[in-house]
Amino acid sequence: MDNYDPNNWSDNNNTNQNQNINGNQHPNQNYFNNDYPVPPAKPKDKLATFSLILAIAGCVTSIVYYISLPCTISAIVLAILSRSRIGRFEGKAVAGLCLGISGIVLMLFFFVMMLSILHDPSLINYMQEYMSVYAVEPRA
C-alpha cells in the first residue's frame, strides 16, 4: 500500500494520469479543456413566423371580413403545419394560432353587429337623413 497515489486512476503505475497504455490521450482529458462542443442552432421555423404575421393582419383587418377571413384561416393552417413539422407548438406558432382564432371571433362579432345594425329600419332612415344633410351637391 506504500505505492498508493490517489491522483493516479490507471491500473498501470508507469503511465501518466493523462495517457493510457498506448501513449494516447486519456479519454477524460477533453473534460478539462475549455473547448466544449457548441450545440446546433435551432432551425428557424418560417411557417410559425408567417402564421404570426397573417394572424396579426387578420386581427387588424377584422372589420373587413373578406380580408380578415383568408388571413386568419391561413394563420391557423400554418400554425398547425408548423406543429406537424417540429413536433410541438413553439412560441410563434402558439401566438399565430391564438391570434388567428381571436381574429375569427372578432370578424364574426363585427359581421353580426353590421347585420344587426343594417337590419334595423329606423337606423337606416336615420342614416339616410344624416347623409342627406351633409351630402355635397355636385358642382355644375
Mean pLDDT, residues 41-58: 87
Instruction: State the amino acid at position 58 in one-letter form.
Output: G
Contact in structure between 86 and 45 (CB atoms under 8 Å): yes
pLDDT tens-place string over residues 101-120: 999 999 999 989 888 877 87
Phi/psi for 55 (5° steps) reads -70, -40
- Asked whether the whole model's pTM tops 0.75, one would answer no
Q: Where are the domains of the chain?
A: 46-131
Mean pLDDT, residues 36-51: 80
Residue 68: pLDDT over 80: yes
- As separate numbers, helices (DSSP H) first and strands (DSSP E) second, the chain gives 4, 0
pLDDT of residue 128: 81
Which conformational region is residue 52 in: left (phi greater than 0), alpha (psi within -120 to 50 degrees), or beta? Answer: alpha
Pick the more confident residue, 3 or 97: 97
pLDDT of residue 71: 94
pLDDT of residue 15: 46
Give the chain's mean pLDDT.
78
pLDDT of residue 102: 95
User: Up-side HSE of residue 37: CA atoms within 13 Å toward CB?
Assistant: 4
